[in-house]
Amino acid sequence: MNPYLKSTKAYKQASVTTEDQGTLILMLYDGAIRFCKTARRKMEKNDLEAVHHNLVRAKDIIAELLASLDAAAAGEVGTNLRQLYTFIYNRLIDANVQKNMKKVEEVEILLEEVREGWRVVVGQRKDQGKSIPTNRAAAKSLNLEG
């Protein structure tokens, strides 16, 4: 393996394991948005294999967000997020099956809007000297309304 790639991989792994939960969520949104953008570019080039690969990667990220969300603990906001994640997940499946660029664009816009909301929340928590917990058990009890 290329030593540069090995050190880059190690750096990325370290950055993920040391980030707080809020920053990790932002990173997940960034990844899903990036995969949607790449899928759209690949659709323009009619590279169906790359489209499929990128939409599956975006869908996997949404599945992770959905799996780590404790909607009951987060109240109405959590319930709304669960519904939104489910909608996005299904939309990505439809976009992939139909190779529909409009559906990918729709998902991308939704993800960018929700990401911006998370960015504000994470920024406010950091300004208050609070961090969003890093372990899953604590993250599941996160109150998104406060």
pLDDT at residue 138 above 50?
no
CA distances from 62 to 14, 30, 34 (A): 22, 11, 13
Confidence class of residue 20 from pLDDT cuts 50, 70 and 90? Answer: confident
Domain locations in the chain?
20-137
DSSP state of 145: T
- CATH H superfamily, domain 20-137: Flagellar protein FliS (1.20.120.340)
pTM, 2 dp: 0.75
